Structure 1
């Protein structure tokens, strides 16, 4: 099936977080948003048809996820797309990836225990660690040659007295897909010190370059304290349908996880639409994934060329994966606040500032490229308009209202 990712879809008036509530993050309405990490693409046709069929039944009672259709679709997808095998008994339903991460942190550690993660980091990682009364320790990634590297000697020192290593794979916001060698090093260090690994793999299907995503569970023959949280929501743009899953090979942890979801938090009954989206997406929509990856790759190439030709103080290299462009603005002769002020008030464009994702994100921008190219063209022209204003008025303070 051929998909048209150029199609413009009006999301205004749909209670859309990215479009209707942009003022919450940027203080202004009527901005062109490149912020929240969902896409502006319609979902795959097989999911649409199934959702319509289910909705027309007018029967939306309690739904059971613990069956082979749901768990088998996930296991088959991992085997087919990522060459990773798993036991169906390891798979459990969860309402969201971050719920899984939060619950696993509570199950695998005690209050005040140290959790190490990579900085810059998905901004919810800060709160999920700190608000669960755990000690956050950042490992600052090293920006080198247009990519990011882990300092493994430093990481080992940080992990010696840690309880959990929280991994984002592929990495949000930098877009790194960790190589086999990097994953092997991470796991060997964690095994040496008995550190449990939780891996958020929600971006695993967006692959733009040669590096191939390697699921954490591919290394179970090396170490058994490995726990994965993921969802099809980024891949197929269905977060509003609600649903994710965790993969928990440790039977005791799995039983404790289910006890919490069933008898403490009462979150064990899935959204029927989210369950079908997972099953259909993972069994019938490989063509959508491949075509979307091709489209996002071209969007990234366009961003790189546009910045090179029009805004050379900004530096950008295509990431390994995700639809998030991580733009280096450290050579731009203005502060992050000046840049953001110009974007919002002059360009009328909303792009996430890197400081949102930690100290290592200072003077970076995170641009959501999961959108029609026409929107991206408009957004980059708005960036240019804002920056032209700044360069022409650099002694005049911030943009005038």
Structure 2
């Protein structure tokens, strides 16, 4: 269903043209975190001339032209007052997930949210108390540690097992931790590895959570960019009891490069918990729609599929480049091919020990800024995360610099 007053056919027509993902755009003029090279997590500030930024998880591509056109219309209108999400908004969200992921949440289960991490914080504050345990699976997206510990909850780390350059669940350890947990914070697909968890893996986690009465918060923000034959399985879709205990957090921001105009949705199947969470979010003034974020979500989900399909092909080719280049020119670095997202997790543990920190080595010796795996908790040491959501010639330049730095060791 199209949004606003623009016919769906017109929105679709705007998106048919071939997208130029090779074009480079100057992002520093608008305060880009990525290109300002601010580094504030366990490392000093990183700065320097001609430093290539391949770290934080946004892309260097323009959003779909349909989204840009609608936001331009809204900006030109010039009145940026209070806005709302009408029933059609939730129908658009429902339709997107039904068509892309074979998951059709009931409309009444969908709640508005400003973004995913504020939503996670709100759920934790509403359904747990200080001192309660929350399980996360490391290495994992670093704000998980912050949202748990910053809200006075106890972090319980279930470390993933690395086998044959893929992560596997450690269910035995998860079961041990479950006795002291109230919530499991699931990253699905997993960030930084891009793992798409299978139905069987999710069912095994659900069984443990069911036995111990654990609620599940699932962060599905990276689900849309599909790079393998593994489909995205929404946790709540695996069984009725999984749906009853879960909070499914979704957003178009990673998919369509909209992190600066955020809007999100939470699906809560359990009616009592849904009403309790909505009341808590209303009391925190978290449900008012962002004027531009609401529009961006609706247009992206209504007419963004052609753009996303082209993006997925481009990102897949970038990942092929990384894997092929690393095999020939980056000795000591092994990429983990992701099932989803535009992020590649690089195993550089042997090099990390030799150079005293591989992330700093590539900043100092190659002029390439990557995400240090240590930020992702236990198991992340010696890894680096590479963002391939950028023009290919920029990515190739970064890889060539990294190769030259290693050759000069």
Task: Give the TM-score normalised by the residue count of structure 1.
Answer: 0.93
For residue 405 of structure 2, the aligned residue among 346, 370, 386 is 386
Deviates further, 296-305 or 379-388: 379-388
For residue 181 of structure 2, the aligned residue among 147, 153, 162 is 162
Displacement of 1:7: 1.6
Aligned counterpart, 2:28: 12
Aligned counterpart, 2:117: 98
Q: Deviations over 1:258-301 (max 9, x none)?
A: 223323x2232211211011111111111111111111111111
For residue 204 of structure 1, the aligned residue among 208, 223, 241 is 223
> How many Å separate the matches in 2 of 1:337 and 1:48?
44
**Structure-2 change in CA distance of 1:338 and 1:185 (3 Å):** closer
Residues paired across the two proteins, number? 388
For residue 169 of structure 2, the aligned residue among 150, 163, 184 is 150
Deviates further, 156-165 or 34-43: 156-165
Displacement of 1:23: 5.5
Aligned counterpart, 1:75: 94
Displacement of 1:113: 0.8
C-alpha contact (below 8 Å) 1:26/1:344 kept by paired residues: no
C-alpha contact (below 8 Å) 2:37/2:47 kept by paired residues: no
Aligned counterpart, 2:206: 187
Q: Over aligned residues, Cα RMSD in angstroms? A: 1.5
Residue 63 in structure 1 maps to residue 79 in structure 2: no
Residue 235 in structure 1 maps to residue 251 in structure 2: no
Aligned counterpart, 2:6: none
Residue 52 in structure 1 maps to residue 72 in structure 2: yes
> How many Å separate the matches in 2 of 1:17 and 1:271?
21
Gaps of 5+ in 1: 392-401
> How many Å separate the matches in 1 of 2:77 and 2:238?
43
> How many Å separate the matches in 2 of 1:180 and 1:260?
32
Task: Give the TM-score normalised by the residue count of structure 2.
Answer: 0.91
For residue 131 of structure 2, the aligned residue among 109, 112, 119 is 112
Displacement of 1:203: 0.4
> How many Å separate the matches in 1 of 2:80 and 2:246?
35
Q: Deviations over 1:363-395 (max 9, x none)?
A: 001001111111101111121222223x2xxxx
Gaps of 5+ in 2: 1-15
| Aligned pairs for 1:317-356 within 5 A | 317-332=336-351, 334-335=353-354, 337-356=356-375
Runs of 4+ in 1 over 4 A off after TM superposition: 23-26
> How many Å separate the matches in 2 of 1:309 and 1:57?
53
